[in-house]
Amino acid sequence: MEHIVIIGNGISGVTAARHIRKLSDKKITIISAETEYFFSRTALMYVYMGHMTFEHTQPYENWFWKKNRIELKKGFVKTVETENKTLHFQDGASLTYDKLIIATGSKPNKFGWPGQDLDGVMGMYHKQDLENLEKYAPNNKVCKRAVIVGGGLIGIEMAEMLHSRHIPVTFLVRENSFWNGVLPEGESNMINREILSSGIDLRLSTNLKEIVADENGNVKSVIIDETGEELPCNVVGLTAGVSPNIDFIRDSGIEIGRGVKVNRYLETNVEGIYAIGDCAEQHEGIDQRRPIEAVWYTGRMMGETLAQTICDNKTQYKPGHWFNSAKFIDIEYQTYGWVWAQAKEHESRFYWEHEDGKKCIHINYDKTTREFIGINNFGIRMRHEFFDKILNEKRTVDYVLEHLADANFDPEFYKLHEKEIVAKFNQENNTNIQLKKKSWKRIFSKA
């Protein structure tokens, strides 16, 4: 029986394993050094915040793996010997495979800051980070202040986490507005305001110079580059992005760039070895995507796709229309299609913001053809299927606005803003778009 070995029990590896089991009877082993069972990494923050226990982050009960004959092995892979298809573990053990899936995800970036390895400095990525946080920041008596360095999604989540336990947080962001490499100005500003109004000390255009130790090797303070100011603190969160976690294959002959190089079938240069998820790097970005996408959803899709290939239905990785979502403290964010931070030349934009400053949408469309390109929505939920269909059918921005009621995915009885949005669009663009009533028929008709 063919033995499929998967390194990494994150969403990519586990999705691959589950789908291989659905499609075949192969022997499957998942290796992880982090935890015994699969958990949802994105939920770690809710454990610290007390919304859930760690067990709640595990989507499958512990018996699931045995029942589905997916073997779980706890261990840290040190090297991969591709010639005789063997994995060597740190503890000296080894394991042979027929096919190998590398799904080791990523690790937090460290940029060589002085003091970056002190006790009390951590990322927010692994289960161990969570345990560290419980140790160094259980409450605001032990941790009088925390400093977060880096302005992305994990940074703001970590700030929210610490804030939930009433620990004062200073948030150092290199850019001059939060996540403005991804978000257009309006949205980025909105999140700046959200962070500040939550009582988090947000400092834009600010870099970390060094982390200072006390006599015991613990964090004592940080020094800010621009001003030289010293901020006393007990915990430093480093959240300046992630990079592929692939150190163990550097000498294996598997081609790597920043990540493990794969083709559209998620195959590496070595036959029978594949890479998926955060650690995989496409030779060229697909569509307008980046070669490496450290996104939960793409990891899952790669797992689904690769399972097909491994089970003799060779399938290209063809991610559909781009989508993503996040939550910035109390503001939910979803995006469908492309809305770049800066409009491209052929693009036209429409931005609407609610008067309370907590809801907005940003629509991107082609100037000449008026084809809809993408939408950012903040504080309003939108229907994924709707936009997927719109993008498939290459509908115009006018069509989207006309059918905005079909797109709304907010809970029942919520206040609707469609009229206001369409009115603003009409006013700005001299159009006469009439909002249509929501239609179940349209919503559920399959294109």
Partner 1 sequence: MKAIKQTGLVLFLLGLAVFIGTIFTGSFSLKQAELDTFLKEQNYKSEVIGEALQKAVVTSNDLNIFQFSSAVRNAYATSNNHYDDLIAKYDAEKNWDEKGKQFQYKISGKPHSLSFSLAKSAGKGPAPDSTGLMWFLTFGLAIIGALMYIVPDVILLGKPGIKNNGVFLNAATNRGWIGWFAFIFLVTFYILLYFFPDYIVNWVYLVDPISNSISGNLASQWFLYGFLYCTVMSVMAVRMYIKYRHNKYQILRTTSVLFFQIVFAFLIPEILVRFEKPWYDFKNAFPLDYDFFFRWNLEELLASGAFGLFILVWGIVLTIVVVPVMVYFFGKRWYCSWVCGCGGLAETLGDPYRQLSSKTLLSWRVERIIIHSVLIFVLVMTGFALYTFFSGEGQVLGIKTQTIQDIYGFLIGSIFAGVIGTGFYPIFGNRVWCRFGCPLAAYLGFVQRFKSRFRITTNGGQCISCGNCSTYCEQGIDVRAYAQKGENIVRSSCVGCGVCSAVCPRGVLKLENGPEEGRINPTDVLLGNDVDLMDLVNKK
Site string for partner 1, 387-406 (x = CB under 8 A): -x------------------
Which CB sits closer to partner 1, 92 or 413? Answer: 413
Name, in order, each residue with C-beta under 8 angstroms of 107's C-beta and a sequence gap of 6 or more: 123, 125, 242, 243, 244, 245
Question: Considering the rule CB under 8 A, would residue 282 count as an interface residue with partner 1?
Answer: no
Under the criterion CB under 8 A, does residue 444 sit at the interface with partner 1?
A: yes
- Which tokens go with 28? 């499957």
Residue 332 binding partner 1, by CB under 8 A: yes
With CB under 8 A as the rule, give the number of residues binding partner 1.
57
Q: Which residues fall within 8 angstroms of residue 427, CB to CB, at 6 or more apart? A: none
Token readout for 5 is: 């070995």
Q: Does the footprint of partner 1 cover residue 288 (CB under 8 A)? A: no
185-197 and 153-164 are packed helices; what angle lies between their axes, rounded to 10 degrees?
20
DSSP state string for 127-194: HHHHHHHHHH-SSTTT-S-EEEE--SHHHHHHHHHHHHTT--EEEE-SSSSTTTTTS-HHHHHHHHHH
Residue 79 in the binding site for partner 1 (CB under 8 A) = no
**Residue 330 engages partner 1 in binding (rule: CB under 8 A):** yes
Among 297, 340, 354, 435, binds partner 1 (CB under 8 A): 297
The DSSP code sequence of 189-227 is HHHHHHHHHTT-EEESS--EEEEEE-TTSBEEEEEETTT
Chain positions 345 to 364 lying near partner 1, rule: CB under 8 A, are none
Binding partner 1 (rule: CB under 8 A), the pick from 1, 50, 84, 447 is: 50
Cβ 50 to partner 1 shortest distance, Å: 4
Judged by CB, which is closer to partner 1: 241, or 319?
Answer: 319
Nearest approach, Cβ of 322 to partner 1 (angstroms)?
Answer: 9
Amino acid at 240: A
Q: Return contacts of 255-262, CB within 8 angstroms, 24+ apart.
A: 256/281, 257/281, 257/291, 258/291, 258/292, 259/291, 259/292, 260/102
Residues pairing with 262 in the sheet: 282
Tell whether the torsion through CA atoms of 311, 313, 314 and 317 is positive or negative: negative
Which x/- pattern over 3-22 shows residues binding partner 1 (rule: CB under 8 A)? --------x-----------
Shortest distance, CB of residue 289 to partner 1, whole angstroms?
12
3-state secondary structure 404-425: HHHHECCCCCCCCCHHHHHHHH
Question: Any contact of residue 385 with partner 1 (CB under 8 A)?
Answer: yes
3-state secondary structure (DSSP) of residue 123: coil
**Which residue, 36 or 61, is less far from partner 1 as judged by CB?**
61
Question: Quick check: 46 binds partner 1 (CB under 8 A)?
Answer: yes
Half-sphere exposure of 190 (CA within 13 A, CB side): 28
Q: Which of 107, 384, 424, 436 binds partner 1 (CB under 8 A)?
A: 384
The residues in 85-114 that bind partner 1, with binding defined as CB under 8 A, are none
- Does position 68 interact with partner 1 (CB under 8 A)? The reply is no
* Under rule CB under 8 A, residue 78 binds partner 1: no
Residue range at the interface with partner 1 (CB under 8 A); choices 35-43, 239-247, 256-264, 425-433? 35-43
Binding site for partner 1 (CB under 8 A): 11, 40, 42-43, 46, 49-53, 56-59, 61, 164-165, 197-198, 296-297, 300-301, 304-305, 308, 313, 315, 318-321, 323, 325-327, 329-330, 332, 334, 381-385, 388, 409-415, 440-441, 443-444
